[in-house]
Amino acid sequence: MISPEGCASILWRDSARAKDAATAMKITAQDLLDLKIIDGIADEPVGGAHRHHQAAINAAADQISSFLARFIEMTPDELRAQRKARFLEIGRSLLEA
């Protein structure tokens, strides 16, 4: 595995093209969502998370809470079975991509 910056440095001799490398590597947030590797994309506050820490934390916390709520009624066995099925599906999705 290599970072987008490292990939860009190797391919284009320009680490500034990290965004292009991330797209080529299919590791953008949208790619990961499409491949069902992640459940969602948290919106970054206008101006950036580096300027608006609490807004970024609140957005992430809200999204995490909503995803965790799905599992509250599941038994441990159901949770393990769901997790296993999900990871197996990721492998299948990657083979088809």
Q: What is the pLDDT of residues 39-80, one digit of tens each?
A: 888 888 999 999 999 999 999 999 999 999 999 999 999 999
Burial state string for 1-12 with b = 16 or more CB within 10 A and e = fewer than 16: eeebbebbbeee
What is the CB neighbour count within 10 angstroms for residue 21?
22
So where are the chain's domains? 1-34
- Report residue 25's pLDDT band, with 50, 70 and 90 as the boundaries: confident
- Which residues are CB-contacts of 25 (< 8 A; sequence separation ≥ 6)? 4, 7
Q: Is the pLDDT at 9 greater than 70, yes or no? A: yes
Q: What is the DSSP string of 39-91?
A: S--PPPPTT-TTT-HHHHHHHHHHHHHHHHHTTTT--HHHHHHHHHHHHHHHH
| pLDDT value at residue 97 | 60
Q: Which residue has the higher pLDDT, 80 or 28?
A: 80
